[in-house]
Structure 1
């Protein structure tokens, strides 16, 4: 399963070009152009990385990222900017960004920066990106692929997303609202019944004791 990127770019042609290029390299990209829409999506959906233009409709990228960081959103962020002043660069890093790239830029360079940040993000994993679930089961946390007895196991998208979420938060009780926010995209209606089905299916594969139900609280990966 591909990593998900939120791209904010108010130049339509550049937004489309970047989105198409990253999609052709295996990423899922949501491309938008405004501050308000970006804020809503960042709160409602789970992204693996942000790519924010500094100058956006309805605000600026620096202020947007600062606001997200203050609310606890820690998704890595790359700024794209035509600004050259060192004070602007300092402002970007102070707002919480992980990297920046100056316009105009090569798409290949942007891709390298994205790949590098995601590798750092998951640096606590072993080099091949797999988390060992049991002796015969492992999960690729970046590609979101489950392997059992050296064979791939087909999972529904939300099942693989849910397993990745559990593995990243091992030992933490995740409320249903937290799970809904990470699994259901903006505009989709979360379903408790569907969530129960996903958990039941995962338990059948990785073991009944791996996912613990906490009544009225949520679920925990043990």
Structure 2
């Protein structure tokens, strides 16, 4: 099931661009341009993440999130802000936001921030941190420990990060670019050869059939 996003942005073109892009990445996006609709949608729907512009019709994103937090809504949130809003960021974090992104921004950067927050939520929302891969193999998604036949199997950090990403997106084809954004830090140069090695090493442990290659596209955990 795809993650569901509530987007509140009053610039029609930007709102449409963000919605179309995130939809293409596999998310379900519900959007509005004003405070009142945003409040109603947030209360009535179940969302995995909020994306709120700071300046919206009928109010602002800070007040919107603050009201939701005071009502017990703890959905992770990202603020979209112009450069002139940076002095108000302290107010934004006090209202309960998890991250922010400054205008103008690349849609791929917003996607990365959304994915990172959802990945943290995926890890911490599980009452049992172990995911069963097969009867004799399980993976601790918090400690990032792979257990096979009741013994810890040592894997590289990026292999563990890759396994978390694959498990989170089970049944979804992850493009190489998506994997690169999640595995390699800013300033690092992604390596297709290294990625292939990580895939090969994981397959040796969890089974060849678990990770499907989609030529010229990416990989899928099934």
SS in 1 for 2:10: coil
Unaligned runs of at least 5 residues, structure 2: 139-165, 172-208, 211-222
Quick one: distance in 1 between partners of 2:113 and 2:29? 16
Question: Which portions of structure 1, spanning 4 or more consecutive aligned residues, are displaced by more than 4 angstroms?
Answer: 129-136, 140-145
User: Equivalent residue for 1:13?
Assistant: 13
| Counterparts of 1:141 and 1:69, CA distance in 2 | 30
Compute the RMSD of aligned alpha carbons.
2.8
TM-score by length of 1: 0.58
> What residue in structure 1 maps to residue 66 of structure 2?
66
Q: Deviations over 1:138-192 (max 9, x none)?
A: 9x985587xxxx99xxxxxxxxxxxxxxxxxxxxxxxxxxxxxxxxxxxxxxxxx
**Could you say which residue in structure 1 is the equivalent of 2:112?**
112
After superposition, the Cα gap between the structure-2 partners of 1:6 and 1:144, relative to the gap in structure 1 and judged at 3 Å, is farther
CA, structure 1 residues 41+130, in 2 after alignment: closer, same or farther (shift >3 Å)? farther
Q: 2-side partners of 1:33 and 1:86: how far apart? A: 21
CA deviation vs aligned residue, 1:39-68 (integer Å, no higher than 9, x gap): 001000100000000000100000000000
From the superposition, tell whether residues 84 and 72 of structure 1 become closer, same or farther in structure 2 (CA, over 3 Å): same
Pairs within 5 Å for 1:51-90: 51-84=51-84, 86-90=86-90
Report if the CA contact (8 A) 1:8-1:52 is conserved: yes
1:124: Cα distance to partner? 3.4
| TM-score, length-scaled by structure 2 | 0.58
Q: Which SS does the other structure have where 2:123 is aligned?
A: coil
User: In 2, Cα distance between the equivalents of 1:103 and 1:16?
Assistant: 15
Structure 1: distance between partners of 2:71 and 2:125: 27
Q: Is the 8 A contact 1:125 1:131 kept in 2?
A: no
Which gives a bigger RCO, structure 1 or 2 (Cα 8 Å, sep 6+)? 1
Instruction: Give the corresponding residue for 1:167.
Output: none
Gaps of 5+ in 1: 152-222
Relative to structure 1, is the Cα distance of residues 144 and 70 closer, same or farther in structure 2, using a 3 angstrom cutoff?
farther
Match of residue 183 from structure 1:
none
Mapped contact 1:2–1:144 kept (Cα < 8 A): no
- Cα 1:10–1:69 change in 2 (3 A) is same
Alignment partner of 1:7: what SS? strand
